Amino acid sequence: MLVTPKTRVLVVDDDSTMAKFLSSYLARRDFEVSTASTGEEAIRVFRVYDPSLVLLDMSMPGMNGIDTLERIKQIKPEVSVIMVSGQSSPELIFRASKLGADDYIAKPFEPRDLDQRINKIMDRQRLSTEVTQIRDQVRKQADFHMLFGTSPKMEDVKNTIEQVADTNATVLIRGESGTGKEVVARMVYAQSPRRDKPFVKVNCAAIPHELLESELFGYEPGAFTGANRQKPGKFDQANNGTMFLDEISEMHPSLQAKLLHVLQDGEFARLGGKRDITVDVRMLAATNKPLERGVEEGFFREDLFYRLNVVTIHIPPLRERREEIPLFLEFFLRKYSEYYGKQPPAFSDYATNRMLDYTWPGNIRELENVIEQTMIMMDDEQIIEPRHLPLFMERRGAERRRRFLEEALDRKLSIEEYSREFVLRFQDRHTEKELAGFLGITPKTLWEKRKRWSLPHSR
């Protein structure tokens, strides 16, 4: 039987009577509730308790509600916050709204008023979660079909996945950002005997260290202020299934020791717990950094590195498999043409060459973003030309200057206007002599033009 975890709420109020009332009332509504009486305490509890909703008093001694709200939103921007206050100050309400507060309720209030606000937030959270899940499913299905092109290097990756998938071996997936490491992890999982069991992903770089420990291992009642009930962690959820730790290089060394214990013995202890819990979890991890350097510099444990590095899958960057770029272009053009309700355009030969020549430091993710941006900015044109592509793709000076000339012709600039804008655009990259040469004039003539344009000399 699957037990749905209760929604965690943090009540922050220096009025103990109000805090007890809210805590009792919310507990009867089947929420899991923790409390704090100051802003400073709220921040400490929030980091470990990780609530989905915060009821935050606006007026407190020391760190007030506005300052506490700002700190909370820095830690977890997506958390929902309802401000509670006995003062109806439009200025404070406006500031709270600008900082990301979802709603405001004035003391004294009727419980049904609070219910309405909480229900509205919970409905919005559920809708957002459903939309995200649907989008993720669509994206993952699409990614599975388009990740592998025709390059020999990706054929090697595909063969390694097939060989290792039906084993229980730990797999370390390496590759630059945007190469598709999570897609590879899900392909290993989808072809494994555990494919009908949970797949649990944790991004070690996206969760603060204080939260990551409780997120992975859970906690027991009394582990910290506000820990009123037991909370299972991600390893509990992944039992008999697969755990994927993304950006493993960002994990704090103190957590690396606990992770090593799980890998070696299949056991872990919850935060504040006194006994070990046994789990059966297949481990997949990913990194875009060289872990060997982390070992040398002392921020990654050598014994953990060897435990993770049983099988390595290296995903080559896009610049090393350029023959696949046309396949990605076609795939993303269809995807975003359908998404934005447009007829799919075609790339001109020159624009295709531009895409092939670019180094793609952000790999497939960057290419996808370029195609989406291009589709947004295009009107009803059916041919994508270089002028439709982002300026940052122009790596060479000659390309930048040629692009500038195209823009000037489109805008029907006069020779004088063209010369002035050319100097403004490129004076930081070239000497006066070079600028004059590009314009077909002498440095003396350029000096005279600068005086006429009231432009100081660059150097």
294 and 335 share one domain: no
Residue 136 domain-assigned?
no
The CA distance from 228 to 323, in Å, is: 57
- Residues with Cβ within 8 Å of residue 141, at least 6 apart in sequence: none
Buried b / exposed e over 398-435, threshold 16 CB at 10 Å, is eeebebbeeebeeeebeeeebbbebbeebbeebebeeb
CATH number, position 83 = 3.40.50.2300
Mean pLDDT over all residues of the chain? 85
Poorest-confidence range of 21-25, 169-173, 291-295, 430-434?
430-434
Confidence of residue 4 (pLDDT cuts 50, 70, 90): very low
With 80 as the cut, is the pLDDT of residue 409 above it? Answer: no
For residue 398, what pLDDT is reported? 60
Out of 395, 419, 447, a domain closes at 395
Residue pair 202/234 in contact by the 8 Å Cβ criterion: yes
For residue 26, what pLDDT is reported? 92
For residue 301, what pLDDT is reported? 94
Q: Is the pTM of this model over 0.85?
A: no
For residue 440, what pLDDT is reported? 76
274 and 361 share one domain: no
- Residues with Cβ within 8 Å of residue 200, at least 6 apart in sequence: 234, 237, 238, 241, 242, 243, 244
For residue 396, what pLDDT is reported? 53
CATH number, position 345 = 1.10.8.60
Residue 144 domain-assigned?
no
Q: Give the other-Cβ count within 10 Å of 259's Cβ.
A: 24
For residue 458, what pLDDT is reported? 56
pLDDT digit string (tens) for 111-154?
Answer: 888 999 999 898 888 877 766 665 555 455 545 555 556 678 88
Q: Is 202 helix (H, G, I), strand (E, B) or coil?
A: strand
Poorest-confidence range of 72-81, 90-99, 104-113, 274-283?
90-99
For residue 222, what pLDDT is reported? 79
Residue 15 domain-assigned?
yes
180 and 224 share one domain: yes
The C-alpha torsion from 234 through 240 and 246 to 249, rounded to 10°, is: 90
Residue pair 191/242 in contact by the 8 Å Cβ criterion: no
Confidence of residue 236 (pLDDT cuts 50, 70, 90): very high
Residue 93 domain-assigned?
yes
Specify the DSSP class assigned to residue 271. Answer: B
Q: How far is CA 364 from CA 158, 205, 321, 368, in A?
A: 17, 20, 11, 6
Closest CA to 83 of 31, 6, 8, 13: 13
310 and 325 share one domain: no
The H or E element containing residue 140 is helix 111-146
DSSP string spanning 347-399? E-HHHHHHHHHS--TTHHHHHHHHHHHHHHH--S-SEE-GGGS-GGG--SHHH
Residue pair 455/423 in contact by the 8 Å Cβ criterion: yes
Q: Give the other-Cβ count within 10 Å of 210's Cβ.
A: 16
351 and 293 share one domain: no
Q: Give the other-Cβ count within 10 Å of 382's Cβ.
A: 10
The CA distance from 412 to 414, in Å, is: 7
pLDDT digit string (tens) for 328-364?
Answer: 898 889 888 888 888 889 998 888 888 887 888 889 8
Residue 137 domain-assigned?
no
233 and 302 share one domain: yes
For residue 350, what pLDDT is reported? 80
Out of 316, 338, 370, a domain closes at 316
Provide the domain count of the chain: 4
Range of the domain at 340: 321-395
418 and 454 share one domain: yes
Strand (E) positions, 103-181? 103-106, 171-174
The C-alpha torsion from 434 through 436 and 437 to 443, rounded to 10°, is: -90
187 and 300 share one domain: yes
Residues facing residue 127 across a β-bridge: none
306 and 347 share one domain: no
Out of 316, 341, 375, a domain closes at 316
CATH number, position 236 = 3.40.50.300
Residue pair 337/374 in contact by the 8 Å Cβ criterion: no
61 and 109 share one domain: yes
Residue 149 domain-assigned?
no
The CA distance from 217 to 258, in Å, is: 9
Residue pair 216/209 in contact by the 8 Å Cβ criterion: no
- Residues with Cβ within 8 Å of residue 435, at least 6 apart in sequence: 422, 423, 426, 427, 446
365 and 246 share one domain: no
254 and 338 share one domain: no
For residue 2, what pLDDT is reported? 35
